[in-house]
Structure 1
Amino acid sequence: MLKHSFRMAVAISLIAVSLVGCGSKTSDNATGSSNPTSSDKKEQVTLKFFHWYNDDQDKWNDVYKAFQDKYPNIKIESVTAGDNNSQEYLKKLDLAAASGDQIDLMMFSAPQYYAQRAAINMLEPLDEYIAKDGYKVADEYYSDPVINGKTYALPAKKSTFFVMLNKNHLDEAGLTVPKDWTWDEYLDYAKKLTKSDGANKRYGTYFHTWSNYSSLAQLAQMDDYFLLKSDGKTLNVETPLMKKSLEIRHQAEFVDKSATPFAEVISQKLNYRPQYFSEKASMIVTGDYMIPEAGGTDKVPATFTTVFAPYPKVNKEDPMSTLNNADLMSVYSKSKHKEEAYQFIRWYTTEGIQLQGKYIPSYKKADIATVIDNQLATAKNPEMVDKESLMYVMQNQIPQNFSVPPSYYDQADQEFTKEMDLFLLGKEDADTALKNAAAKIQKIVDSNGK
């Protein structure tokens, strides 16, 4: 749910025009029935894989080598800027599609980007391949990215959220590592961890600019956590949980002054990584992609022990739920090597991602303890990660029920973010911000005829 420019909507529209009528001809190509598979004939096939990750830093080159050792007739050619910028990547992907470039595989960092491209027939349905392999996505993976009864992707990494805390700061404040806590208790921790020291004030917590930090209480609910409910048309904005979310932000930034002020975040272009690792903030709500970094990197060595706590609840009796996002891997509908592309996706999302040792897999049969050991083995200072608290969080949090929002969801998110920015800058109260956001999102729903 990251911010996304209006130009994306224009690019999508252009591609939609260029792809009208192209569709995905599953009756001819989905199972390779009209052409014997290259796997059977052992023909050499090169697949172009579009993504945003750095092949060396994120160990993708190890993945390609392992796959090609097992399937020597299939070569993976990476097409990436290598800058880990998933937003700019989308523009490059859409431009390549509009230009008629070879695309075989692609990846999406959020379900709405996947939904956008499924809506314009850019993605190949995988249902026939899945049926042939004899499994159900919901049984194999924590995320089931089905859209209108069809599956256009398999989930790779599972992005769950938790809280990272500076152990030294906790000890200094006489606080224990939380194992089950509420947002009210989180705010209390933030207040006690805040330390005033003139210009070098240390804040108890830091919230980044992304829209999900304006929906903290609703974000990790088991169902209906998006701005629209699962039917894709009923608004989910003016809710008690959204009101609670804004109260959390207001309490931390305006009352307790225990969170880095939003005005300071945007004016100084602050980022959560340096704020946490430079010890200017004692705890951050973040995703499990930060596990290896908690153990330090060559650029930012870990100088203190990080402990982990579950994502906070709204009420004590609530389940210990957490976000359940995923990188989604799809086959391009115009690929000439769809079966081979699916073969790589299935292999990577089950075997490859585990040996890669960078991400927590969505694959339910993955050995999470081994994956985390592999992640920490890549860290510069793995001893700075409290593995006991980390494993407790990973084993006890319940992933929310995964769902895919409508293709126009990104527009709704942009309008929501604009109103939340006004609230966080003190220019609107919570009720006004939510009311205005709801009105704008309703217009988007109406204009899409849903």
Structure 2
Amino acid sequence: MTRTISRRRLLAGAAGLGSAALLAACGKGGDSGDAGTVTLNVWGGVPAESGPDALFAAFTAKHPNIKVKYTRFVNDDQGNLKLDTALQGGLDIDVVVSYARSALAKRVEAGLLTDLTDRLAGDPVLKVLAPGANPASNYFFDGKAYSVPASRSVETVLANKSLLDKAGITVPADWTTADFRTIARQLSGNGVYGCLIPPDLARQQLGPDFTYKAGGRESNFDHPAFRENFQLRLDMMAEKSAVPMTEIVAQKWDAFAQTPFLTGKVAMWISQPFVMRYIKDTKEYPHDFKTVLLPMPAPQKGAQFWNTGAYGDNVAITKKSKHQDAAFTLLQFWLGEGAAHMVPGGRLPSLPGGDTAKLAADLGGPDAAKLFDEQSLVTNLLTSDARIPVDAIQTAHAEISTIMNGLNQRVLLGNISIDQWARTAKEQCDAAIKKAA
């Protein structure tokens, strides 16, 4: 890919401003600016029936001169490669959604996306996402914005309420990682693991840009928090309160984490709201227990920590689109009144506002009373004040991700020690940063 910007200056942020009034106004964009009726080709990773169909139908009802054709790509390495190939090959794509920040950065660096800076700055609602409005309002690249974040995902501990009740366990609101491990042990046995994986202690404690030292000039994998994180997981796997990595790989539970939870093989599962669609799909995943949403445990009692969720669904307009005005009208609607159509599929709006009761009803669905502990859904997800970290450094991020994916699996499979992991991670990632700088 053509390198059009400096990797060291890729800055990121997350939407967190606005009001209910502003949110309602978002969909009031002007006409498409294109003569006659146009068709926008949109590529995204969410199944059409999980929100996009309803979103685009509502958009076209309001803007009948703008049609939308939606193509779903699978949000994995192969799916993103297919999308990037299509974008660079000149396929007719107007709007694209990026999920990983590394994927978005690659598309910006390749010159595939439209600079939205001026459009955002001039919009009465979306100006909160423009560079300079707030350093944590959007993803910025060399001081420019090429996308808008459409979702805010707080991470929670999803737990099998039947197993908790059977064990007589009441989880305190201010629980800790030590409590999490104790409860996981109590829930383990008879073919059940207490959890899939424990909390990410390094991310919780270090927050934004946790894999870099200050300024992004070198990696941070020699920080004690990473050793602590791996030691916890290895210890829990050894005691069978967390699923061994060998079984995760064999069962492909890294890609299909909903399967062990919804089949009752795992009692607690740390994840984001998009997984609600699996819980509600009782034909594919029949189960007879309620899911209770628990807050993430603190690393230590009373300690302030970061939630491991994310702001995402970064919607962008391709530079080759012939319908720039129409595409921006879609972005306005998507983040405004259209956001409600994505909620049933587990994509919560990035801009604040809206009726909590309606959000809960839309997210839980018609069978919410049977499938969820509804109060926990409101308390620990929809009204959560959890701090979500926003990474601001992108230097060699894609290369570091590839290096770490391999090393992490090796240490969790027992092929290398934590000390070997730390030395190798530090050495290889520092080299990648130096090369990219």
TM-score range, shorter chain: 0.7 to 0.9
Secondary structure at 1:339 match in 2: helix
Picking from 25, 39, 48, the partner of 2:32 is: 39
Q: What's the CA shift for 1:403?
A: 2.6
Residues 209 and 393, structure 2, Cα contact 8 Å, conserved in 1: no
How far apart, CA to CA, are the structure 1 residues paired with 2:297 and 2:92?
45
- 1:48-447 to structure 2, matched below 5 A, reads 48-56=41-49, 58-81=50-73, 84-134=74-124, 135-137=127-129, 144-195=138-189, 197=190, 201-207=191-197, 216-221=200-205, 223-229=207-213, 231-254=215-238, 256-270=239-253, 271-319=256-304, 321-322=306-307, 323-357=309-343, 358=345, 359-377=347-365, 382-394=369-381, 395-406=383-394, 408-447=396-435
Q: What's the CA shift for 1:228?
A: 2.5
Q: What's the CA shift for 1:144?
A: 1.7
Q: What's the CA shift for 1:324?
A: 2.2
Distance change >3 Å, CA 327–CA 233, structure 1 → 2: farther
Match of 2:18 in 1: none
Secondary structure at 1:399 match in 2: coil
User: CA RMSD of the aligned region, Å?
Assistant: 2.5
Match of 1:9 in 2: none
Secondary structure at 2:400 match in 1: helix
Q: Which has the higher contact order (CA 8 A, sep 6+)?
A: 2
How far apart, CA to CA, are the structure 2 residues paired with 1:410 and 1:115?
9
Q: What's the CA shift for 1:42?
A: 5.4
Which stretch shows the higher mean deviation, 278-287 or 290-299?
290-299
Task: Provide the TM-score with structure 2 as the length reference.
Answer: 0.85
Secondary structure at 1:133 match in 2: coil
Secondary structure at 1:39 match in 2: coil
Q: What's the CA shift for 1:216?
A: 0.5
**Paired residues, number:** 403
Which amino acid counterpart does residue 93 of structure 1 have in structure 2?
Answer: L
How far apart, CA to CA, are the structure 1 residues paired with 2:36 and 2:305?
50
Which amino acid counterpart does residue 348 of structure 1 have in structure 2?
Answer: W
Residues 33 and 325, structure 2, Cα contact 8 Å, conserved in 1: no
How far apart, CA to CA, are the structure 2 residues paired with 1:314 and 1:220?
7
Identity across aligned pairs (percent)? 24
Which amino acid counterpart does residue 321 of structure 2 have in structure 1?
Answer: S
1:215-238 CA deviation, whole Å, 9 max, x = no partner? Answer: 801223573344225733331212
Q: What's the CA shift for 1:258?
A: 0.8
Q: What's the CA shift for 1:402?
A: 1.9
Which amino acid counterpart does residue 307 of structure 1 have in structure 2?
Answer: V
Residues 227 and 412, structure 1, Cα contact 8 Å, conserved in 2: no
How far apart, CA to CA, are the structure 2 residues paired with 1:374 and 1:262?
35
Q: 5+ unaligned residues in a row in structure 1: which ranges?
A: 1-12, 21-36, 208-212
Which amino acid counterpart does residue 127 of structure 1 have in structure 2?
Answer: T
Residues 219 and 426, structure 2, Cα contact 8 Å, conserved in 1: yes
Which stretch shows the higher mean deviation, 222-231 or 102-111?
222-231
Residues 205 and 299, structure 2, Cα contact 8 Å, conserved in 1: no
- Point out 4+ residue stretches in structure 1 off by more than 4 angstroms: 138-143
Distance change >3 Å, CA 367–CA 191, structure 1 → 2: same
Q: What's the CA shift for 1:421?
A: 1.4
Distance change >3 Å, CA 292–CA 51, structure 1 → 2: closer
Residues 222 and 399, structure 1, Cα contact 8 Å, conserved in 2: no
How far apart, CA to CA, are the structure 2 residues paired with 1:206 and 1:383?
23
How far apart, CA to CA, are the structure 2 residues paired with 1:41 and 1:143?
29
Which amino acid counterpart does residue 263 of structure 1 have in structure 2?
Answer: T
Which stretch shows the higher mean deviation, 308-317 or 273-282?
308-317
Q: What's the CA shift for 1:331?
A: 0.8
Q: What's the CA shift for 1:280?
A: 0.7
Task: Provide the TM-score with structure 1 as the length reference.
Answer: 0.83
How far apart, CA to CA, are the structure 1 residues paired with 2:354 and 2:118?
24
How far apart, CA to CA, are the structure 2 residues paired with 1:88 and 1:141?
33
Distance change >3 Å, CA 75–CA 266, structure 1 → 2: same
How far apart, CA to CA, are the structure 1 residues paired with 2:392 and 2:283?
37
Residues 49 and 79, structure 1, Cα contact 8 Å, conserved in 2: yes
Residues 112 and 318, structure 2, Cα contact 8 Å, conserved in 1: yes
How far apart, CA to CA, are the structure 1 residues paired with 2:232 and 2:325?
48
How far apart, CA to CA, are the structure 1 residues paired with 2:240 and 2:219?
32
Match of 1:28 in 2: none
1:166-197 CA deviation, whole Å, 9 max, x = no partner? Answer: 111111222113312221211111111111x3
How far apart, CA to CA, are the structure 1 residues paired with 2:277 and 2:186?
27
Distance change >3 Å, CA 159–CA 233, structure 1 → 2: farther
